[in-house]
């Protein structure tokens, strides 16, 4: 492996401009949309020598295991995953790499200091819309195979590179797996939101449930435009939403005392949370009128050791207990809407896949990585939960992600090149070389 590794690292350095250039090409293609990005991915994979499939699918109605999303949470319509298969020679272990080409809806570009579609490099950072989330991951997988091919490294096992839509429950990698693609392991190429780049491996993702509760009240019986003087004669739905908020907070505290996961406890001192993130009611036009409706919404995180249906049932029971104890809500029950739910997953640090990835990062960067256990609902869960394929995630240093409402999203160029090197070494090590 030592000679192969040395050759791959040298080839990556020799191909540095080509590697960085491809990431820039993807950023510039974002101006024309996801299809333009995918066309570049398909062309480069074909140039490398991969067999290509453009897999069209619709995320609505897809068969899933231990996962759901309401149609309100899904961006419906036909999507396309680009899949490139790089064949091995001698039946070694196989690997699926995946990343997503779709970014956040383009907005507020006038607030950027850099042109979001020019792939400008400034101070060692490349700026662009979706460059970190997740064009970096798509480019890293494609460029790693490019390095393998250019160095004439002969792999024993097959490698599949899938550029798969993901955001808003696009479920691209699930579509790939449901259409017969499989492997002995999977590698999710995605940035480290924690800001430490290749110093970490995503090897644990908590499960997550997202909910919304619609509470109805009763407006005062008056035709007066102002309701304050009549408020005592009404049922304020905000008051009832607060009752549910208190019940959810109490449930979260009780679960925190009872549910423990060693890695999560060590990281943040708690393994599960019930978070109310929104309470919405009222009218923009007037603060003197009472709204008949209040919506309360939030999310629940839970460790991989718990089952989705069990957690959902526990939360549902707590909400219904609070409703039953309130005379108004008992007769006028709120609507409980479960928007989405995913199951958590974990790969232990002694697993061969984790060991392979950790060793590759250490070889390339000189620093042994640690586990990032805090990326709730990460797509590393999908291959393992849906098809039993062990999966971890890695990514280069990036920041100002648009999904966090920020501007001037960026990727550290040197760390991106190191990610390509690391990915190429992982491929060679995991799949074996002739």
Domain locations in the chain?
2-205+345-431, 207-342
| pLDDT of amino acid 346 | 96
pLDDT beyond 60 at 186: yes
**pLDDT tens, residue by residue, 49-91:** 999 999 999 888 787 889 988 877 777 788 999 999 999 987 8
Overall average pLDDT of the 414-419 stretch: 97
According to CATH, the superfamily of the domain at 2-205+345-431 is Zn peptidases (3.40.630.10)
Q: At which residue do the structure tokens 């020799």 appear?
A: 14
Q: Is 154 left (phi over 0), alpha (psi -120 to 50) or beta?
A: beta
Q: What does pLDDT average to over the chain?
A: 94
The whole-angstrom separation of Cα 378 and Cα 206 is 8
pLDDT digits (tens, 9 = 90+) for 212-262: 999 999 999 999 989 999 999 999 999 999 999 999 999 999 999 999 999
Which residue would you say has higher pLDDT here, 62 or 359? 359
CB 270 within 8 A of CB 250: no
Q: Are β-strands 159-163 and 79-86 bridged in parallel, bridged antiparallel, or unpaired?
A: antiparallel
Identify the pLDDT of residue 72: 73
CATH 3.30.70.1560 is the classification of domain 207-342? no
Residue 201 clears pLDDT 70, i.e. is over it:
yes
* pLDDT tens-digit map of 364-395: 999 999 999 988 889 999 999 999 999 999 99
Cβ contacts of 89 within 8 Å, gap of 6 or more = 154, 155, 156, 434
Tell whether the model's pLDDT for residue 283 goes beyond 80: no
């Amino acid at each position: 492996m030592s000679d192969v590794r040395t050759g791959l690292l040298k080839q990556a350095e020799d191909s540095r401009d080509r590697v960085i250039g491809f990431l820039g090409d993807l950023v510039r293609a974002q101006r024309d949309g996801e299809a333009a990005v995918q066309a570049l991915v398909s062309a480069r994979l074909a140039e490398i020598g991969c067999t290509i499939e453009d897999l069209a699918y619709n995320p609505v109605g897809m068969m899933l295991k231990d996962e759901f999303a309401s149609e309100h949470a899904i961006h419906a319509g036909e999507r396309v995953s680009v899949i490139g298969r790089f064949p091995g020679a001698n039946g070694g272990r196989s690997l699926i790499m995946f990343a997503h080409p779709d970014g956040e809806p383009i907005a507020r570009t006038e607030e950027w200091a850099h042109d979001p579609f020019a792939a400008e490099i400034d101070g060692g950072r490349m700026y662009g819309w979706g460059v970190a989330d997740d064009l970096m991951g798509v480019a890293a997988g494609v460029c790693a195979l490019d390095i393998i091919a250019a160095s004439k490294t002969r792999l024993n096992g097959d490698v599949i590179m899938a550029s798969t839509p993901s955001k808003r429950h696009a479920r691209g990698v699930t579509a790939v797996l449901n259409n017969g693609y499989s492997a002995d392991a999977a590698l999710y190429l995605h940035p480290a939101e924690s800001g430490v780049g290749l110093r970490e491996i995503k090897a644990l993702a908590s499960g997550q449930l997202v909910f919304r509760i619609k509470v109805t009240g009763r407006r005062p019986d008056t035709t007066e435009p102002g309701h304050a003087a009549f408020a005592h004669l009404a049922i304020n739905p905000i008051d009832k939403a607060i009752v549910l908020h208190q019940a959810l907070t109490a449930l979260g505290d009780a679960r925190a005392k009872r549910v423990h996961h060693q890695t999560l406890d060590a990281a943040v001192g708690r393994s599960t949370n019930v978070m109310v993130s929104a309470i919405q009611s009222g009218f923009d036009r007037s603060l003197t009128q009472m709204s008949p409706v209040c919506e309360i919404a939030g999310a629940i995180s839970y460790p991989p050791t718990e089952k989705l249906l069990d957690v959902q049932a526990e939360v549902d029971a707590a909400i219904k207990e609070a409703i039953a104890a309130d005379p108004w809500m008992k007769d006028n029950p709120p609507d409980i809407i479960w928007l989405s739910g995913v199951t958590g997953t974990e790969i232990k640090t002694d697993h061969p896949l984790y060991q392979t990835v950790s060793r590759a990062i250490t070889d390339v960067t000189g620093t042994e990585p640690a586990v990032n256990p805090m990326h709730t609902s990460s797509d590393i869960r999908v291959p393992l939960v849906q098809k039993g394929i062990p999966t971890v995630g890695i990514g280069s240093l990036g920041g100002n992600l648009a999904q966090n409402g920020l501007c001037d999203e960026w990727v550290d160029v040197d760390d991106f090149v190191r990610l390509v090197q690391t990915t190429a070494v992982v491929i060679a090590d995991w799949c074996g070389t002739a």
